[in-house]
Amino acid sequence: MSLLIKGGRIVTAADDYVADIYVDDERISLIGEELDHQADRVIDASGKYVLPGCIDPHTHLDMPFGGTVTIDDVESGQTSAAFGGTTCHVDFIIQGKGQTFAAALDDWRAKANGKQVIDMGYHMAVTDLAEGGTLEELASLPEQGITSYKLFMAYKGALMVDDETLYRTMEVAAKTGALVMVHAENGDVIDVLVQEALAAGHTEPLYHALTRPPEAEGEATNRAIQLAHLAGAPLYVVHVSCKEAVEPIALARERGWNVWGETCTQYFFTSLDDIAKPDFEGAKYVFSPPVRDKSNWDVLWNAVRTDALSAISTDHCAFLWDGQKTLGKDDFSKIPNGGPGLENRLQMIHEFGVRSGRISLNRMVELLATNPAKLFGLYPRKGTIAVGSDADLVIFDPEKTTTISAKTHHSKVDYSLYEGTQVTGTPELVLLRGHVLVENGELVATPGIGRFVARARFGEELRSGQLTVTS
């Protein structure tokens, strides 16, 4: 279906202007003033922002963890994303113990089959090179459009890898054009602190944060940076939460090293005060790295403003508070780690970033769409508004007021990290490749419309149409 979007304020990472957009065959065909083209549908975007569809580079849907499985599967998670103006995400395949990478990929494809509401790619989490996948198999993944490897430096006894596995994976990435991602916390130290806290009788959720101190994140971040530099691999540090981790990333970037970092929406708005809430409510705020002291909020806003950190994701990893988080009612170390947020990232960053004067509209688009697209092999097909790009577009009403609540969100999770927060500015109409996903508060697309997107190797010069999209 052809579309003509009239009179919207088009905002990209670099530009801000009023124009019309003509969409045909799922792509943007023309951009200009007063376009006079016949279209199957004309959309009046006067007084609204027209943004590129947001890209969330860090999500966990239908993922086993801690004896349970995240409550959002691909359909519910992506529906939530669509209502929040996110039209593409990159989810994590978690390699099981003894499992080949091919078998892990098959498992995750099966989870998504027929359920996709938006477009998606995959990262491969490397957990077992001893009895499962091989370095040779790992090296073949970029040929299949999976161009990023994730390694956990935490979760000892479950997902954590040793430095040999970390470094060998970095060497493969340097040769194959993949981007290395790390969860940077010192898992050995954390394990000692957890055992000491439990032995002292400390079982409440607050001790999840107190046993994962910022120094453990800072040390692991610096270690990963140094090892990646030695291996010649590009590095992306996920969910940075504190000054101790921001500082080594900023220093590496000042040196011109191929290092980038992301933070997540929740780290701007939650703190130790939340995880200390009584009656086990603090368990809602158990995710890793943990909530930090409020002094880190300004550190993170400054980091995303100055490009010390280059992206904001959600790390959406949703577990029910009643029935899943309660697995750790008597032992904080058994609370499933993760929080929700796919639906509210754009609203929260617009309200408290743009409207509060912390970042510009252009920088918001850069952090939520353009930089994730560039870093993860999707640009310029996605992440911008340009002729030839996919027509992934958000018609955003900057004046509409909304109150965020679990009662109205589209995730299956039974709470919101931002319950009761009033925001001004919300997606009004969301398009995926020119198809209407969300309109008038309703999902109008049928699950299955979303596609797997094979991503380009890290650092390749991309041209529109170069990437391959398969069903």
CA 170 to CA 19: how far, in whole Å?
44
Q: Residue by residue, what is the 3-state secondary structure of 26-93?
A: CEEEEEECCCCCCCCEEEECCCCEEEECEEEEEECCCCEECCEECCCCHHHHHHHHHHCCEEEEEEEE
Q: State both tokens at 154.
A: 């935490």
CA 44 to CA 395: how far, in whole Å?
10
Cα Dmax for the chain: 73
Q: How far is CA 372 from CA 309, 365, 458, in A?
A: 12, 10, 12
Helices then strands, each counted (H, E), the chain: 13, 21
Q: State both tokens at 317.
A: 């990893």
User: For residue 392, what is the enclosing H or E element?
Assistant: none
What 8-state DSSP symbol labels residue 159? Answer: T
CA 286 to CA 280: how far, in whole Å?
11
- Tens of pLDDT, residue by residue over 84-128, are 999 999 999 999 999 999 999 999 999 999 999 999 999 999 999
Cβ atoms of 331 and 205 closer than 8 Å: no
Question: pLDDT value at position 384?
Answer: 98
- Tens of pLDDT, residue by residue over 404-418, are 999 999 999 999 999
The answer, yes or no, to whether residue 469 has pLDDT greater than 90, is: no
Residue 16 C-alpha from the chain's centroid: 25
Query: Domain holding 218: CATH number?
Result: 3.20.20.140
Q: What is the mean pLDDT of residues 286-307?
A: 98
Domain count, the chain: 1
Residues facing residue 236 across a β-bridge: 181, 260
Q: Please state whether 357 falls in left (phi above 0), alpha (psi between -120 and 50) or beta.
A: left
The answer, yes or no, to whether residue 464 has pLDDT greater than 50, is: no
Cβ atoms of 255 and 233 closer than 8 Å: no
Q: Which domain holds residue 187?
A: 1-471
Question: pLDDT value at position 132?
Answer: 86
